[in-house]
Amino acid sequence: MAKDKIKATTGKKRVTFVIEAQEANNVSLMGDFNNWNEKTHPMKKENNYIWKKTIFLNPGRYEYRFLVDGQWQTDPNNDMVCPNNFGTYNNFIEVQ
């Protein structure tokens, strides 16, 4: 109930990120919403290969990637990508 109250008063939306990484030991969600800090949003293993993380975001556009055992990986479930400063791509989402 407290979460619903916070969500309603702040205008933040619940967003769940999911990635399949069967052999992974550590997966982090990193993006401009957490200053690309791997310690801010560690993901939890749901079963043998699915990792999930739910966060609350204000409306806006956000870039992100996953860090899977120290290796950058784009989101295979999201085809919205944009180039980054490192010559690769970031995924992005638009929260309404």
Determine phi and psi for 56, rounding to 5 degrees. -110, 130
- Model pTM? 0.86
At 63-86, the pLDDT tens digits run 999 999 999 999 999 999 999 999
Closest CA to 93 of 52, 72, 64, 67: 64
pLDDT band for position 24 (50/70/90)?
very high
C-beta of residue 19 within 8 angstroms of C-beta of residue 66: yes
C-beta of residue 66 within 8 angstroms of C-beta of residue 31: no
Indicate if the pLDDT at residue 1 is higher than 50.
no
Helix and strand counts by DSSP (H, E) for the chain: 1, 8
